């Protein structure tokens, strides 16, 4: 009985073994049969065998220059490998003449191919794969490829193709994989890939592309794999549409890391704000403009608009006259010139959009009616956006005239603000003389000119005589202060219109605050008790677009003469890099440069020789400020798009007000008040991509190049891409240590990088550590996970420097793996955005999460920039 049971068990075991080995034996038998049936074919030049149910002909390394002819087995071949032969040209019907009409796969790599005839692939309607890599093709053989409508895979890599024209792959609607890497492509037409609706993978790496339009990718609705690295990408507005397309189509996976040519940053990780172009002025006006007095001056500034110019990236155009900003409806001359009619001089600025010569233009027109020689000078049009600014200068010359007609009167206008008027009887006589001019043109015209000259000389003589008499009278009265009327006394209760330039009145453009009054000695006892600039907002914090309001306060103990109180609002960015006390690099740009006069009037001038306390005054009308408190209010709308205040080690962005009280003796009292601009970043208004989780991974070898210790793979995931101070960054990570080296520690570090630029060149960059998390060692061939680790963001100053081209701030999460010994650390960089306003729910409430502690106030300075601590190593 026992022997019977053993025999049964052995029978079952043998049956099971036979069942397992039978399929293996069958596969081996099939392969042996295939080896037996392999044979020479195609005239003995190739070796044929059956592979995967297809008869494959291996013709590689045979130094073939043409295909074998009159072979009996040609029609059975479905796969042909012609790699490493000598086919400089594929002539018409080369496969058809060899009766290779049933081919499905053709490999023509490394054959020195330069030309392909339009009919080279005639009647090859079953080909699904074609490889033409590592050849010398300079053009895509579009007409030849159209003969293979079932083609699924096309490899044109490692050729000398320089461009991809439109409809390059027409009739290839079944193509799924297209390889164009390692060529010399510099241009791809917008319609180059029309018809490739089923394409899934496109390889464009290692070419010479600088830009790419999103229209190129539009026909490929199923594409999910794209390679773009190792091109000379110019990260400006020409690449903006592609970045926008990739953000909107998350199915498209850019599997490599394309970098910007200028700063080597991976542009698939940048926001849309990084893809901008400096405005371009396309002017049809000359740089020199001439106008006659009394005419209307018109200057056009035409700025080219890009297709991506929208409300999120506004373009602003501003005009300047002799370095003074011009606002719409501001006065061009005002009371400094005498014009008879009621139409005062006002600047009018209009903006229109127009399409000229296939270019969309924003045309800003500056108009000034009734121009005078006073209006001559340099007019500058400045167009700017967040990428930079460009200027166009117009040198305007206004030609003076001896007289000009105006409503039946003759007015001689001059920039000196002095005008002489002819009396009514003279004007009537002049009108009668003009009537006689219609009768006799030649002779009478000469007589009239002579009469006119006599009248002008007579009038000038009368005016000079009257002026001398008036000066004699004034010289007698000016010797005594008690009898003179030249000094106008102001008291604290004086009408405000006499001491305050009304807020709604536009700034007087002719004021030049930089011109110093000559120093003179005056014997005057006075005391200025207080001289303050008081802003209405005690916090001194303002947002772009808000109104900056306040007052200049003067407290005097005695009567104080003054000729003017000037007010200047400045916003500037400065980079100043020093080395051992020597300035290496410096640059500056202005954001606000607004000047106004709060006290005094430049139109009323004192006569030459006015005396005050025994000294001569040649400035303007002297005003006497009585003892007490005087206030002079001001109001200014701050421009939009101002960068936030920033104080750094090698540069700064700052805003301040400056007031100057000028006395007749040349003494100038000055005071200055700084205010803070905070330009907020609202995460709710930024691209939605910043509110979504994203990850990054890296695989790197540890050890020397000749003695590798193994690989380390790191995958890091952040809960989103945008944060505000006071929130915590949720970090998940997986570290797989597939090496024989022990990892000492892993760290996640929040860093701030400040980059200073001068003269369009980066002159200094510093990176500081703001916060960090750390975990312990990982043994060899082991793994470690970070699960929802929170990295708190400390209070930091506002960081929005959009609009500043000298200083840039970037925030990153560095995940650092530090092995033991002398091995190099492995770093993974994940850029993030630091905003001002956090994400809110649909009902407006805050999305509070674990680890969120919003600070009550934010600092305005960065103390870590002035120390050596916290530098990222």
Q: Using CA atoms, how far apart are residues 620 and 612, in angstroms rounded to an integer?
A: 13
Q: Looking at the structure, do residues 114 and 216 belong to the same domain, yes or no?
A: yes
Residue 702 and residue 591 in one domain: no
> Which of 26-35, 40-49, 513-522, 771-780 is predicted least confidently?
513-522
Residue 585, Cβ neighbours under 10 Å: how many? 19
- Beta-carbon count within 10 A of 859 CB: 13
pLDDT of res. 18: 54
Average pLDDT over residues 792-814: 89
- Model confidence at 732, pLDDT cuts 50, 70, 90, reads very high
How far is 325 from 304, CA to CA, in rounded Å? Answer: 22
Q: Give the dihedral of Cα atoms 306, 311, 315, 317; nearest 10 deg.
A: 130
- Mean pLDDT, residues 140-150: 92
Q: Which pLDDT band, with edges at 50, 70 and 90, does 715 fall under?
A: very high
- Can you say how many angstroms the Cα of residue 672 is from the centroid of all Cα atoms in its chain? 32
pLDDT of residue 362: 85
Distance of CA 691 to CAs 688, 722, 840, Å? 5, 6, 11
Question: Is 137 within the bounds of a domain?
Answer: yes
For 34-71, b/e burial (b = at least 16 CB within 10 A) is eeeeeeebbeebbbbebeeeebbbbbbebebeebbeeb
* Per-residue pLDDT, 313: 55
The tokens for 512 are 């030049």
Tell me, yes or no, whether 324 and 178 share the same domain: no
Residue 831 β-bridge partners: 812
CB 180 within 8 A of CB 161: yes
Contact 860, 674 (CB under 8 A): no
Place of tokens 């009108």: 431
Tokens of 564: 């003017």
Domain boundary among the residues 627, 651, 677 is at: 677
How many Å apart are CA 236 and CA 387, to the nearest integer?
A: 9
Residue 463 lies in a domain: no
Query: Where do runs of H (alpha helix) occur along 390-441?
Result: 424-436
278 pLDDT above the threshold of 90: no
Predicted confidence (pLDDT) at residue 181 exceeds the cutoff of 90: yes
The domain spanning residue 323 has which CATH number?
2.60.40.10
pLDDT band at 873 (very low <50, low <70, confident <90, very high): low
Confidence class for position 756, pLDDT limits 50, 70, 90: very high
CATH code for the domain of 734: 2.60.40.640
For residue 778, list its beta bridge partners: 743
pLDDT band with cut points at 50, 70 and 90 for residue 309: low
Nearest to 700 by CA among 669, 735, 667: 735
- Find the largest Cα–Cα distance for the chain: 158
The pLDDT value recorded for residue 185 is: 95
Instruction: Confirm if 168 and 144 have CB atoms less than 8 A apart.
Output: no
The position carrying tokens 């043409």 is 66
* Alpha-helix residue ranges (DSSP H) falling in 512-632: none
- The least confident of 15-19, 181-185, 270-274, 791-795 is 15-19
Could you tell me the two tokens for 408? 């039946």
Residues 24 and 38 placed together within one structural domain of the fold: no
3-state class of 708 per DSSP? strand
Residue pointed to by tokens 């003892």: 627
606-617 pLDDT per residue, tens: 333 343 333 334
Question: Does 62 share its domain with 211?
Answer: yes
**H-helix or E-strand containing 569?**
strand 564-579
Out of 623, 642, 677, a domain closes at 677
Q: 841 Cβ partners below 8 Å, 6+ apart? A: 847
Q: What is the mean pLDDT of residues 554-578?
A: 91
> What 8-state DSSP symbol labels residue 607?
P
Q: What is d(CA 38, CA 64) in angstroms, rounded to the nearest whole number?
A: 21
What is the rounded average pLDDT of the residues 509-529? 41
Confidence of residue 868 (pLDDT cuts 50, 70, 90): low
Residues 461-470 have a mean pLDDT of 76
Beta-bridge partner residues of 861: none
- From CA 79, how far away is CA 93, in angstroms rounded? 18
Nearest to 543 by CA among 639, 659, 400, 674: 639
Supply the pTM of this predicted model.
Answer: 0.43
Res 481: pLDDT: 32
What stretch of H or E contains 459? helix 442-477
Which pLDDT score is estimated for 194?
92
Q: What percent of the chain has pLDDT over 70?
A: 75
Confidence of residue 489 (pLDDT cuts 50, 70, 90): very low
Those residues with Cβ within 8 angstroms of residue 340's Cβ, 6 or more apart along the chain or in another chain:
406, 407, 409, 411
Structure-model confidence comparison of residues 93 and 403, the more confident one: 93
pLDDT of residue 431: 44
Q: Is residue 338 part of a domain?
A: yes
Co-location of 226 and 248 in the same domain: yes
What local confidence, expressed as pLDDT, does residue 286 receive? 55
- Per the CB < 8 A criterion, the answer to whether 57 and 41 are in contact is yes
Q: Exposed, middle or buried: residue 485 (CB in 10 Å: 0-12, 13-18, 19+)?
A: exposed
Which among 145, 137, 193, 146 is positioned nearest to 165, based on CA atoms? 193
Domain match, 75 and 18 both: no
261 and 114 housed in the same domain: yes
Q: Is 712 exposed, middle or buried (0-12, 13-18, 19+ CB in 10 A)?
A: buried
Tell me how far apart the alpha carbons of residues 126 and 174 are, in angstroms, rounded to a whole number.
12
Phi first, then psi: give them for residue 295, nearest 5 degrees: -85, 180
Q: Is residue 682 part of a domain?
A: no
- Residue 608: what pLDDT? 36
Cβ burial of 841 (10 Å; 0-12, 13-18, 19+) is exposed
Mean pLDDT of the chain: 78
Residue 14 in any domain: the answer is yes
Determine how many CB atoms are found less than 10 A away from the CB of residue 644: 25
Question: What phi-psi label fits residue 738: left (phi over 0), alpha (psi between -120 and 50 degrees) or beta?
Answer: alpha
CA 534 → CA 374, 540, 658, distances in Å?
36, 10, 11
> Exposure of 307 by Cβ count < 10 A (0-12 exposed, 13-18 middle, 19+ buried)?
exposed
Same structural domain for residues 710 and 859? yes
For residues 108 and 250, membership in a common domain is answered with yes
The domain boundary, picked from 217, 246, 272, lies at 272
Indicate whether 473 belongs to any domain.
Answer: no
pLDDT of residue 388: 80
What the block records as the tokens of 133 is 């890599």
Least confident of 363-372, 471-480, 497-506, 649-658: 497-506
3-class DSSP state for residue 773? strand
Between these two residues, 117 and 688, which has the higher pLDDT value? 117
In a domain, 390, yes or no: yes
Higher-confidence position of 677 and 347: 677
**pLDDT exceeds 90 at position 550:** yes
Residues 50 and 6 occupy one common structural domain: no
Beta-bridge partner residues of 819: 743
Token look-up 């092995």 returns 819
Whether 716 has a pLDDT exceeding 70, the answer reads: yes
Three-state secondary-structure class, residue 334: helix
Q: Does residue 337 surpass a pLDDT of 80? A: no
pLDDT value for 620: 53
List the domain range (segments joined by +) for residue 506: 488-516+538-677
Provide φ and ψ at 51, rounded to 5°: -135, 120
- Does residue 3 have a pLDDT over 80? no
Query: Residues 206-238, buried b or exposed e (16+ Cβ, 10 A)?
Result: bbebbbbbbbbbebbeebeebbbbbbebbbbbb
pLDDT of 485 strictly over 50: no
Domain contains 524: no
Q: Which whole number is the average pLDDT over 508-515? A: 31
- Which residue from 591, 592, 585 is spatially nearest to 650, judged by alpha carbons? 585
Q: What angle do CA 620, 626, 630 make, to 5 degrees?
A: 90
Q: Given this model, what pLDDT does residue 687 score?
A: 84
Q: What letters, b where the CB count within 10 A reaches 16 and e where it falls short, cover 344-356?
A: ebbbebeeeeeee
- What DSSP character marks residue 208? -
User: 231 with 208: CB under 8 angstroms?
Assistant: yes
Query: What SS3 class is residue 6?
Result: helix
Q: Is the pLDDT of residue 291 over 50?
A: yes
> Are 558 and 591 members of one domain?
yes
- The side-by-side arrangement of strands in the sheet containing 722-723 is 722-723, 826-834, 807-819, 743-758, 761-775
Q: For residue 837, what is the DSSP state?
A: B
Q: In this structure, what token pair is assigned to residue 404? A: 């000009």
SS3 call for 10: helix
Helices in 714-755 by DSSP H: which ranges? Answer: none
Identify whether the C-beta of residue 272 lies closer than 8 Å to the C-beta of residue 240.
yes
Q: How far from each other are the two terminal CA atoms of the chain, in whole angstroms?
A: 81
Distance of CA 496 to the CA centre of its chain: 45
**Residue 135: which pLDDT band, with cuts at 50, 70 and 90?**
very high
Write down the pLDDT at residue 820: 87
Give the model's pLDDT for residue 280: 85
SS3 category, 375: helix
Beta-bridge partners for 773 = 748
pLDDT in tens, 805-863: 999 999 999 999 999 887 888 999 999 999 988 888 877 777 777 767 777 667 766 76
Into how many domains does the chain fold? 5
When pLDDT is cut at 50, 70 and 90, the band that residue 406 belongs to is: very low
């Amino acid at each position: 009985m026992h022997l019977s049971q053993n025999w049964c068990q052995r029978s079952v075991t043998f049956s099971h073994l036979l069942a397992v080995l039978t399929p293996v034996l069958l596969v081996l038998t099939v392969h042996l049969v295939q080896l037996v049936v392999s044979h020479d074919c195609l005239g003995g030049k190739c070796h044929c065998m059956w592979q995967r149910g297809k008869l494959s002909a291996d013709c590689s390394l045979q130094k073939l220059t043409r295909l074998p002819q009159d072979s009996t087995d040609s029609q059975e071949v479905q796969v042909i490998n012609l790699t490493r032969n000598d086919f400089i040209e594929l002539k018409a019907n080369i496969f058809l003449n060899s009766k290779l009409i049933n081919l499905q796969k053709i490999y023509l790599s490394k054959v020195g191919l330069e030309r392909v005839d339009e009919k080279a692939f005639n009647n090859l309607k079953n080909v699904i794969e074609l490889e033409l890599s590592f050849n010398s093709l300079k053009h895509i053989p579009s007409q030849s490829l159209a003969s293979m409508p079932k083609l699924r895979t096309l490899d044109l890599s490692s050729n000398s193709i320089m461009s991809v024209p439109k409809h390059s792959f027409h009739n290839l609607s079944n193509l799924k994989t297209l390889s164009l890497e390692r060529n010399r492509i510099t241009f791809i037409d917008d319609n180059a890939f029309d018809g490739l609706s089923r394409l899934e993978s496109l390889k464009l790496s290692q070419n010479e592309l600088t830009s790419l339009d999103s229209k190129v990718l539009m026909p490929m609705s199923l594409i999910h794999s794209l390679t773009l690295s190792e091109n000379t990408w110019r990260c400006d507005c020409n690449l903006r549409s592609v970045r926008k397309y990739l953000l909107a189509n998350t199915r498209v996976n850019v599997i490599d890391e394309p970098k910007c040519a200028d700063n080597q940053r991976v542009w698939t990780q940048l926001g849309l704000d990084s893809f901008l172009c400096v405005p371009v002025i396309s002017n049809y006006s000359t740089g020199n403009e001439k106008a006659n007095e009394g005419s209307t001056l018109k200057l056009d500034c035409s700025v080219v608009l890009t297709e991506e110019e929208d409300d999120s990236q506004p373009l602003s155009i501003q005009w300047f006259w002799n370095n003074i900003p011009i606002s719409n409806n501001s006065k061009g001359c005002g009371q400094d010139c005498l014009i008879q009619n009621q139409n005062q001089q006002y600047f009018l600025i209009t903006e229109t959009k127009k399409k000229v010569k296939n270019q969309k233009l924003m045309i800003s027109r500056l108009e000034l009616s009734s121009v005078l020689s006073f209006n001559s000078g340099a007019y500058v049009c400045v167009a700017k956006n967040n990428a930079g600014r460009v200027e166009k200068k117009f040198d305007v010359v206004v030609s003076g005239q001896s007289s000009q007609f105006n409503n039946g009167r003759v007015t001689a206008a001059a920039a000196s603000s002095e005008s002489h008027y002819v009396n009514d009887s003279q004007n009537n006589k002049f009108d009668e003389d003009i009537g006689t001019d219609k009768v006799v043109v030649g002779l009478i015209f000469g007589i009239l000119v002579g009469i006119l000259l006599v009248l002008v000389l007579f009038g000038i003589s009368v005016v000079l005589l009257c002026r001398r008499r008036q000066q004699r009278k004034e010289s007698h009265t000016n010797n005594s202060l008690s009898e003179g009327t030249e000094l106008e006394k102001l008291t604290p209760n004086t009408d405000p219109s006499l001491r305050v330039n009304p807020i709604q009145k536009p700034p007087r453009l002719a004021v030049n605050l930089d011109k110093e009054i000559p120093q003179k000695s005056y014997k005057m006892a006075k005391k200025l008790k207080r001289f303050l600039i008081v802003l209405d907002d005690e916090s001194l914090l303002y947002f772009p677009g808000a109104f900056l309001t306040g007052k200049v306060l003067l407290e005097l103990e005695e009567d104080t003469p003054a000729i003017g109180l000037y007010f200047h609002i400045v916003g500037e960015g400065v980079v100043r890099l020093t080395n051992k006390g020597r300035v290496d690099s410096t640059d500056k740009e202005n954001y606000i440069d607004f000047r106004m006069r709060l006290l005094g009037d430049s139109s009323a001038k004192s006569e030459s020789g006015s005396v005050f306390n025994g000294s001569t005054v040649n400035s303007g009308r002297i005003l006497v400020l009585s003892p007490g408190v005087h206030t002079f209010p001001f109001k200014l709308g701050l421009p939009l798009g101002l960068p936030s205040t920033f104080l750094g080690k090698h540069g700064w962005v700052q805003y301040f007000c400056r007031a100057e009280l000028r006395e007749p003796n040349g003494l100038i009292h000055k005071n200055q008040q700084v205010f803070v601009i905070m330009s907020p970043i609202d995460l709710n208004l930024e691209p939605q991509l910043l509110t979504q989780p994203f990850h990054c991974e890296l695989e790197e070898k540890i050890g020397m190049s000749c003695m590798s210790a193994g690989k380390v793979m790191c995958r890091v995931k952040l809960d989103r891409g945008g944060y505000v101070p006071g929130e915590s960054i949720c970090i998940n990570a997986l570290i797989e240590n597939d090496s024989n080296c022990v990892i000492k520690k892993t760290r996640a570090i929040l860093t701030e990088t400040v980059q200073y630029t001068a003269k369009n060149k980066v002159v200094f960059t510093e990176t500081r550590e703001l916060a960090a998390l750390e975990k312990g060692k990982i043994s060899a061939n082991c793994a470690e996970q970070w699960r929802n680790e929170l990295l708190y963001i400390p209070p930091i100053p506002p960081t929005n420097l959009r609009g500043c081209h000298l200083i840039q701030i970037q925030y990153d999460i560095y995940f650092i793996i530090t092995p033991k010994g002398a091995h190099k650390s492995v770093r993974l960089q994940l850029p993030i955005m630091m905003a001002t306003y956090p994400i809110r729910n649909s009902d407006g409430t805050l999305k509070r999460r674990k680890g969120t502690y919003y600070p009550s106030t934010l600092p305005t300075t960065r103390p870590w920039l002035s120390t050596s601590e916290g530098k990222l190593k």
